[in-house]
Amino acid sequence: MEELITRVTGRTGLDAATAQTAIGHILAFLQKEGPATEVSQLMATMPGSEALVAEANAEGGGGGGGLMGMLGGMMGGGVMALGQKLMAAGVPMNQMQPLGQELFAYGREKAGEDVMGPIVGSIPGLNQFV
């Protein structure tokens, strides 16, 4: 997990704690919204990922107010709700795409395209961030 956090901080300029929290939120989102088999395979290639997901889930909504919260609620959650959680965790909107790109590049390196392709393909709107 340290390698991924280092890559994310280098690409986005986020501090390590924010990057770790953001990765946890993204992985928790993938667990909730993605295909279970492939997400489990991805998580298995990322030691420490289960702990980050548990932390993200323990935090709950991450502040449900504001425009992003309203949009996420209107759209039933999904990628908009994830974006709101990331913003609440301190990720600027202009760093969400680089964050997602780095996380998914890492996932492709560790788990392969056979795992990552179905994850991206199954979640509406996710492809714009990876």
What residue segments make up the domains of the chain, in order of their start?
2-129
Higher pLDDT, 128 or 11: 11
Range in 1-5, 10-14, 19-23, 77-81 with the lowest mean pLDDT: 77-81
Residue 14's SS3 state is coil
- Model confidence at 129, pLDDT cuts 50, 70, 90, reads confident
Angle at 75 between CA 82 and CA 101, to 5 degrees: 35
- Model confidence at 68, pLDDT cuts 50, 70, 90, reads very low
Would you state the pLDDT for residue 116? 96
Note the pTM of the prediction, 2 decimals: 0.87
- Average pLDDT over the chain, rounded to whole? 88
Average pLDDT over residues 29-58: 95
Q: Is the pLDDT of residue 80 over 90?
A: no
- In SS3 terms, 53-99 reads as HHHHHHHCCCCCCHHHHHHHHHCCCHHHHHHHHHHHCCCCHHHHHHH
Would you state the pLDDT for residue 77? 67
Average pLDDT over residues 109-122: 96
Would you state the pLDDT for residue 130? 83
Average pLDDT over residues 13-37: 96
Extract the tokens encoding 32.
């909730």
